[in-house]
Each structure stands twice: as structure tokens, then as C-alpha cells.
């Protein structure tokens, strides 16, 4: 096979110089080299390019044309981007799963019946109706009254973390 290495590269270079829409067959390659390149080498190169999906066979007549490189590169770029996104998502899921007591960090809607359990010495984060969030407040320092129209009304709370 080493003796045919130059011929293989010559055939590959010949195919690469063609435009995407230009149709060719094995005989046109063989003719361009004046029969110096072995016909079996030409067949092998074309078979390999067909297998890789770089060439398309047009009709059973034995003619071929190149796939558009831009489309192939775009598909490759999209696949790479999707793989990157999958890796990032996996890292995010791992970090979220590693969070201690992640369910306890969810906000609990406050109404007149929901006050933090465990006494008033608990530290909590509270969200006010104005949109302000107060962090690490002692539960006994929070005005737990339920005044729906007051902007200082507590609308949600969670254990401080």
C-alpha cells in the first residue's frame, strides 16, 4: 500500500479541486492522469470518501459529486455546540444535586397560617411585597402580620442558608 500512497494523495487532491456541484466518474479521474494512476486506487479512494459521507453517488450511472463542505462544517459545529451544552448541563445538575438541603431553600408563600416552625430563634430570608429581600433575619424580628396592601408585608420566606 505504501507504493500507492502518492497516487492516493494525487486522487484526493484532484477530487478536492472540484467544485461542489461538478459531477465526475472514475474514468474522468483516470483520464486526467493519462492512465498512470491505477484504476483500483481511484475506486478505493472514492469508496472511502463515499463511506465517510464526503461524496454522493448520483444515479446508478456511477457518477459522483462532492457534498457541500459548508453544510458538513455547520452540522459539525452544531454537534459540537450541543455536546458543549450537554456537558454544561451535566455540571449544573451535579452542582444542584450537591447542594445541602436544597428543598429547604425553596420559598414558602406566607399567609396568616404559615409562620416558620421551630420557634422564633430561627434565621430566615424574607421577601417583601415591595420586591425587597431581607436575608438572615431572626424570625422574631420579622413583622409576620398579614396586611395584603402594605409594601412591607412578607409574601414569602425560607430558612436562611
Q: Give the per-residue pLDDT at 20.
A: 74
Between these two residues, 148 and 51, which has the higher pLDDT value? Answer: 51
Q: Is residue 13 part of a domain?
A: yes
Partnered with residue 126 across adjacent β-strands are: 134, 157
Give the number of domains in the chain. 2
70 pLDDT exceeds 70?
Answer: no
Percent of the chain with pLDDT over 90: 0
52 and 107 together in one domain: no
Q: Is residue 116 part of a domain?
A: yes
What global pTM score does this model have? 0.40
What single-letter DSSP state applies at residue 67?
Answer: P
55 and 111 together in one domain: no
Q: Is residue 10 part of a domain?
A: yes
Q: Is residue 12 part of a domain?
A: yes
Q: Is residue 88 part of a domain?
A: no
When pLDDT is averaged across residues 47-74 and rounded to a whole number, the result is 75
Residue range of the domain that includes 116: 102-159
Which distant-in-sequence residues (6+ apart) come within 8 Å of 148 by Cβ?
none
When pLDDT is averaged across residues 108-132 and rounded to a whole number, the result is 75
Q: Give the per-residue pLDDT at 63.
A: 79
Amino acid at each position: 500500500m505504501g507504493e500507492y500512497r502518492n497516487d492516493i494523495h494525487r486522487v484526493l487532491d484532484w477530487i478536492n479541486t472540484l467544485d461542489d456541484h461538478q459531477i465526475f466518474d472514475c474514468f474522468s479521474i483516470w483520464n486526467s492522469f493519462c492512465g498512470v494512476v491505477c484504476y483500483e486506487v481511484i475506486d478505493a479512494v472514492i469508496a472511502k470518501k463515499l463511506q465517510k459521507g464526503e461524496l454522493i453517488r448520483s444515479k446508478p450511472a456511477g457518477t459522483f459529486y462532492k457534498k457541500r463542505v459548508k453544510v458538513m462544517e455547520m452540522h459539525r459545529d452544531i454537534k459540537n455546540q450541543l455536546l458543549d451544552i450537554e456537558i454544561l448541563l451535566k455540571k449544573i445538575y451535579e452542582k444542584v444535586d450537591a447542594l445541602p438541603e436544597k428543598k429547604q431553600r425553596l420559598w414558602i408563600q406566607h399567609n396568616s397560617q404559615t409562620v416558620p416552625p421551630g420557634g422564633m430563634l430561627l434565621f430566615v430570608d424574607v421577601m417583601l411585597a415591595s420586591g425587597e429581600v431581607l436575608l438572615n433575619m431572626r424570625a422574631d424580628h420579622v413583622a409576620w402580620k398579614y396586611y395584603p396592601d402594605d409594601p412591607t408585608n412578607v409574601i414569602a420566606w425560607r430558612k436562611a442558608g
